[in-house]
Each structure stands twice: as structure tokens, then as C-alpha cells.
Amino acid sequence: MQAGQRARNVFVVLWVAVTALKAIVAARLPLFVDEAFYWQEGRHLAAAYSDLPGLTAWMTRLGVELAGHHAFGVRLPFLLMGAALPWMVAGLSRRWFGARFGWQAGSLTVLMPLSATLGILAVPDVPMAFAAVLCLDAGARLLRGVDAGSALMLATGLLLGALSHYRFIGVIGVGFIALLLLPEGRRTLRDARVWMALTVGVIAWLPLLAWNLDNQDAGLKFQLVERHPWAFQVSGLWFLAIQPLLVTPLLCLAMWQAGAAGIRPAPAGQQRVQWRYFALVGGVSTLAIFLLGFFTDVERISFHWPLPGYFALLVAVPLILGRWPRVWRRLAWAMALAGLVLAFGYYLVAASPLLREQLAGNKYYPRNFAGWQPLADAVREELSAMPQDTRLLAGSFKVGAELGFLRADASIPVLPHPLNDKHGRTAQLALWKLVDEGRRSVPQLLVLAPGDQRYRDLLERYHQVCALVGPLPPPRVVSIDHGYQRFLLFRLPAGRREGPCITPAMAWIDAPLPGTAAAGAVEVKGWAFKDGVGLDAVEVLLDGKAVARADYGADYDVTGFWKISTDPNHPRVGFSARLDANVLPPGRHWLGLRLHGADGSVEDWWEQPLDVPER
């Protein structure tokens, strides 16, 4: 009893501290681009959408209606669900393994990085995980004996899961397999009350099925075909490597031991039946996802996919840890706590402009969280200087959704963009009549985010935009975090201008390389061009200030790669300049370019680090 009370006290302290921290982060962190789109869906209420069933959008709408139009309001229902999950896991484990182990399972759920951060973002994985644990609890109860309450819990979990994500089909399949593999499970499946619950779960998929039938199966094609290569990829090994880091290595080992111990033959007993059930659900689920990782989408975030299976294994993990030597047991808890700190540290960095800037140039730079408020401010300034009937036009769904949230306008039209297709949003935007093909009778303010495109495809994208809206006027550049988040704002006149395609400038610094230690005379050289009109001059910037005018116009033929480029200066687009590093104070500086177009445009290019060592 004393050990159970002590474990409960530890759980409550951890839960209160982590939940409070989650709420603080959720209030300060800008919306992730997917969250902004879910908010947009919530402003266009429907039974289902192109990318998801309806629950995520409904929850964002509910949160805003209850708490107000801000990031915390959007995330509030998800925070509440995420906060409930550790209690659910603790209650499930307590029921079958006792109070001490149950509260420890709850504490591990609070600490494990993947589950600890669940609810900070308004994403469908939160209601999906909530539904998965409900179904797991219901299945364990049904193995003991079928009753109306357990059947109702199962029906509720199946209903919420069907309304959360297409991937919940996998949760259902794994649960069904686990029940079929157990004699008690096969007996359970013969009960009519269980089939009534399953019927509710089937009916819950009808809105999504109806949406797909009405829209040429666009959602199903995206989720099951278009986003996945369905061919073996060695890069799937990265998925296997990152999982122990995301759940912490020793906790990952303990979960696999819990699964193996549960499946091994052992003396029969009520507790044993439940443990086998948890082990089968968790083991089959995580193993299947690991194998699928070699064939499915590796470009977008998928590290959270095994989470429902991890919850099933966490229920029994305290029993495994109890068998470990004390030093390893304590190390497992310490590593989980360290993982929690690192996970929250990343979100806190993303929420802080000053800290986020330190990640500029790093592959972990949180670009999808960055720069939206400065962009919204710049858009407001530009629109105030344009005619009153000016319309806002976004270059992709990301820009449209983020600006829409910050401007409380869920109907900003967007240009066709490969990103809209890649994320399964084109069909939904078309249903809302928000796909703009570039025809206009009033002025427009066009907002592009060059970083949304791979650099090698950026010039082609600019030409596609030209084909839609005409030659692009000189842009206003909104540069955040040394240009690692960058936006271009164009004032388009009411009528389409005719003429050759004029694009934003393109450039590259060949030397020095990023992060180079600079000493003495530093030669800065590279190439730059601007399709349609060309460049008049290139200035070298250091820490945002012009420090040298480059010699521009040297022979540097880049048309072998940029085959469609129409800069009239080709092949004389090379530049060079010299900097004296001896006059610079030691430390990190930022080297950039200011590109002057022949059309009067002035565009600051992104910056790269230049390190001056101590002398």
C-alpha cells in the first residue's frame, strides 16, 4: 500500500508539472502549418475532408469557440485529451497489475518523449491515440467477460478512431488479430454485444467513405497510394534508428522485453491473459509499422506512427523494470526524464524567436513554425498601401492557412502548387473554390514562400507562377532567421501584364563555404541572375549591412543546370568580392547578398555563417 501511494504521488507531481509546461508551450508556440489547415477546415465544417475524417477539424473549431481565436484555443481540446492519456494508461495497468505498477506506467507515459508532448499540437494523432487506448482498455475488459459497459467503451473507441485518421484502420486490424490469437478472444468475438460495438465502428467510417465516393476517391488515393512509393527504401533504416531515441533507449528495450515476456508460454491466469493481449497488440503493431517503414512515405513526419502500440506495451513495462538491477532501473527512468527535457527543449526553441534563430542553417531548424507573424505584419502593411479592393493570394496551402489563421480569414485563395497535391489538400481547396488559376480583375497581393520548394526546382516554380499571373513585379522580401524562412510579396495590378517572365533573383555563394573559419583576406564568389531583366549589381552583406560591392559580370555559365533561365546576361553572371576578416571581431558572423535587379528590385538573399576565430 505504501509503495502504491508513493508511486501515485510521483505520478501526480510529474503529471501536474508536465501538463502545465505543455499548456505554456501550446500558448506560445506558433501554429504548425498542418494545424493551421485543420483550423481552416474547422471554419468550413463538414463530415469529412480530403486529408482526414472530421474530428480534428471539429476539435479545432470547438477549442476556438471555447477559448478564443489564438493558438492555445486551437489546441485546447487536444491538450485535454493528451492530459487524460497518462491517467488512462495508469488506470489500465493498475487494474491488471496492481497500484504500484499502474502508477509507474502512468509516470512513464508522462515521461516518454513521444507521449509526453502529445497534445501540444492540434494534430489527429491525439484523438487517435485516445481512441486506441480506449479500445485497448475495452479489449482487456472483454477478455475477462463481456458486459454492456465494456462493449460501450469499445464502441466509443472505435467511433472516435474512425473519425480521427485513416491509420486507425491499422489499430482495428491489430486488435482483431490479437483477439483471434487468444482462445478467450475468440470466445469474446462470439458475443452479440461485441458485434454491436463493431457495427458502430463500421458506421463511423461512412462519412469518410461518402466523401471519397463523391470525390473520385481522392482521400483514399492520397493516403494509400500517392503519398507512398510502395517500393523498398534503404532509408527506412532511419525509422528504426530514431525510434529508440524518441522513446529513450532503455525504455524501448523494456517495451520489447514486455512484449516478448507477454507472448512467451507461462502459467495461465487472468493477469496472464491480459498481458498476452497487451503484448500481441503492441508487438504486432510496432513490428508491422517498422516493416512498413521500408516501403512507405519517409519524407514527412511519421515517427509517431507506432505510438498506439507503445501504449499497449507501456502497460506492462513496470513489471519488466521491477526485474532489472536497481542501477539499470534508475538509469531507465533518468534517460526517460532526459528525453522529456530534450523534447520540450525543441518546442521551447521553436517558440522563442531568439532561440530559434540559433538553429538557422541547421537541419533541425523549425521552419514550419517560423516567421508567420512577421509575414502577417508585412502583409497588413502592404495591403494598407494598396487599393481597398485588393485581394490576398497565397502561393500554397501552407501560406494560405497560416495567413488565414493570423488574419481570421479562412477563405484566402491559393495558387496550384505541388505541395497542395503532396499533402492531399488540393481536392479540399477545390471544394472550397479556393484554387486560383491567376485570372484577376482587381489588384492582388501575391505571397510566395521560396523555401517550400527544393532549390533545384525553384526556378521552374517561378516560371509556373509567371504562367499563371504574368511577369512578377519587384518583390518585398520578408526575411526571418537570416533568410532560412523567407517570403516574397508582389503587388499585382488589376489586369495581367503581358511580356516575358520576370522572376525573383537566384544566387549561390561558392566560396567561402558555410561555417568557414575566416582569416585575412576572404574571397567571396559565386553566381547570381534574374530571369527576364537581369541584375545590375550584387552587394555583399555582413550581419545585414552592405560591406562591399561585388565585381559582377564574370563568365560563369550556369545554363547547363538552369536550362530554362532567360537572364539576358548569361553567361556573364559570376561575381566576386574581397573581405578583410582581420577587422572583424571574433565570433560568428552572417554573410549574405543584396541583389539589385534591372527592374529596380532589391532582394536580400539568405545568409550563411562565417566564423572569425580568436586571434
Which pLDDT value is given to residue 299?
56
Compute CA 224 distance to the chain's CA centroid, rounded to the nearest angstrom: 19
Mean pLDDT score, 339-360 = 91
Mean pLDDT score, 77-82 = 98
Give the torsion through C-alpha atoms of 417, 418, 419, 420, to 10 deg.
Answer: 60
Q: What is the pTM of this model?
A: 0.93
**What percent of the chain clears pLDDT 70, i.e. is strictly above it?**
96
Q: What is the band of 286 on the pLDDT scale with cuts at 50, 70, 90?
A: confident
CB atoms within 10 A of CB 264: 10
Cα dihedral 75, 81, 87, 90 sign: negative
Does the pLDDT at position 300 exceed 60? no
Q: Which range, of 287-291, 474-478, 533-537, averages the lowest pLDDT?
A: 287-291
Element (H, E) at 421: helix 418-422
Mean pLDDT score, 469-494 = 95
pLDDT tens across 38-60, in order?
A: 999 999 999 999 999 999 999 99
Mean pLDDT score, 142-166 = 95
Does the pLDDT at position 143 exceed 90? yes
Q: What is the band of 289 on the pLDDT scale with cuts at 50, 70, 90?
A: confident
Q: What is the band of 270 on the pLDDT scale with cuts at 50, 70, 90?
A: very low
Q: Which range, of 105-114, 279-288, 337-346, 481-490, averages the lowest pLDDT?
A: 279-288
- Which grid cell sits at 392? 490576398
Mean pLDDT score, 61-69 = 97
Does the pLDDT at position 391 exceed 70? yes
Does the pLDDT at position 421 exceed 50? yes
Which pLDDT value is given to residue 266?
59
Which pLDDT value is given to residue 583?
86
Does the pLDDT at position 209 exceed 70? yes
Pairing assessment for the beta strands 551-554 and 516-517 based on DSSP bridges? unpaired
Closest C-alpha to 51, from 303, 295, 220, 230: 220
Does the pLDDT at position 296 exceed 90? no
Name the phi and psi angles at 94, rounded to 5. Answer: -60, -40
One-letter amino acid identity for 284? V
Mean pLDDT score, 254-281 = 81
Q: What is the band of 508 on the pLDDT scale with cuts at 50, 70, 90?
A: very high
Whether omega for the bond prior to residue 366 falls within 30 degrees of 0, making it cis, is no
Closest C-alpha to 120, from 12, 31, 242, 245: 31
Which value, in Å, is the radius of gyration of the alpha carbons in the chain? 28
**What percent of the chain clears pLDDT 90, i.e. is strictly above it?**
78
Beta bridge partners of 511: 525
Which pLDDT value is given to residue 613?
87
Average per-residue pLDDT for the chain? 92
Residues contacting residue 133 through CB under 8 Å, at least 6 positions apart = 85, 88, 89, 92, 157, 308, 311
Mean pLDDT score, 141-165 = 95
> Half-sphere exposure of 125 toward its Cβ, with a 13 Å CA cutoff?
19
Q: Quick check: 567 and 531 in contact, CB under 8 A?
A: yes
Q: Give the residue with greater pLDDT, 4 vs 248.
A: 248
